[in-house]
Every structure is written in C-alpha cells, then in structure tokens.
Amino acid sequence: MKLLHLMKGVCLLTIATLVSCGRSGSSTEDCMIFGEVPGLYADYQAQRDKIEESADKSVTDFKKASAQIDELKAKYEAKIEEAAMSLNGKAVEVEPGDDFKVLQPINLTFKNIINLNSVFDVNGEIEAVRDVSIDVTEPWLKSHDVQYLFLPLLLIGCDENGAEVTKDRIGCFSKCFKVVDGKVVLPAGSKAELQTVSYNKNSYEDYVKVKTVKLSLDVSKM
C-alpha cells in the first residue's frame, strides 16, 4: 500500500514538473489563426486529465488534485495570455473571394482572458465587392423586415483539401440589406462591422489543420 501511494506521489510530481517546464516536449503546433493559443489550451487539458486520472477517490487525494489543477490553471492562464498578446497586430492571411474584399488587413488584438478563454478585438476593413443574393421563401419575406436584419460574418478555416474545419464569427453586416426580385441582397460596397472573437473550445485538432482562411456570410439561421 505504501508503495502504491509512493508511485502516485511520483506520478503527480512528474506532472507538476512538466507543467513548470511549459511546453517543452509538447507535440502541439501553432495554428494559422490563433497561433500558440490552441496548442497551449490542448496542453492544459491533457495535463489536467492526467492529474484527475492519478487521483484516488479519497477526500485527501481529491483535495490534492484540486489544488494542483488550480496551480496548473494559473500557470497556463499566464502562458495563454502571453501567447494571445503576441498575436497583436499580426495579419491573418485571407484567401481572395468572390463576395468580400479585405481593404485593411484583418488582425487580432488581445482583450482579456476569462476561465482560459482568450478574447480578441478584430481589426481591419472588409466590404462586399458585389451584390450578394440570398434565397429566402415568400413566407420569410412577409414575416421579416430586412432593414433590421443582421447576419454574422465568419472566418472559415479550411484544411489542405479545402474542406471547412473551423468557423469563427468576427463581425456582422447590419442595416444594409434590401429585397430585390424576391431575394435578400447585401449590396456591393457594404462594410462589415468587426467585433470580437474568442478561442474557448477544446478543438486544437481542428485548428491545427487550417491551411487557408476565407470569409463567408452566415445565413444558416435564415
């Protein structure tokens, strides 16, 4: 029994040592949109899982594990904040598209971190380069006033085959739509209102696949 507790103690000590060494030995990579942030978040989740798995069901072990997780979270919060701040002003390379044009490069500015969720202000300038038509039903048109319509603008991450693997809302178009021939139209020249974006998902495996980034209007809820 003493040997069992000793082995568990060594295991927890090893985990704490790995945490104090930052990302050394980590297999995570930087991603195209959020840099180091997804990898650090993934590291935190992996280390937390190890601590939880190593703990007994006893109250004493639970308290020790909880304390270690609190320490782990504090350390990774500092690391994630540093990584998030390093993105300030760095342009996100966006593929040219048929519907939207980037007039001023899209970049992120770190705003805050809440419970390991990084929040960024989105900067830049984006406009519609042509009339973007959206098919809607006649009942929809009768029940909606398009002058109050707003639709999210998405930053879409695609893998090496062009398949969409991530979606992040970075702003919206509002108070600019009109109805033409029974369709909702976003007129050419309309400017996007850029807002905030956050990384708050345990989806590192998706973000690390991103090889190209494009813009898209979200009409999924229409």
User: In the structure, what pLDDT confidence band is assigned to residue 60 with cuts at 50, 70 and 90?
Assistant: confident
Dist CA 198 CA 19 (whole Å): 24
Q: Above 90 in pLDDT, residue 58?
A: no
Question: pLDDT, tens digit, for every residue of 117-161?
Answer: 999 999 999 999 999 999 999 999 999 999 999 999 999 999 999
Q: Above 90 in pLDDT, residue 189?
A: yes
| pLDDT given for residue 24 in this prediction | 40
Predicted model pTM: 0.83
| pLDDT given for residue 57 in this prediction | 67
For residue 182, what are its two tokens? 């029974």
Dist CA 17 CA 11 (whole Å): 10
Burial 175-203 (b: 16+ CB within 10 A, else e): ebbeeeeeebbbeeebebebeebbbeeee
Question: pLDDT, tens digit, for every residue of 77-120?
Answer: 999 999 999 999 999 999 999 999 999 999 999 999 999 999 99
Dist CA 195 CA 121 (whole Å): 6
Domain boundaries, the chain: 2-85, 100-217
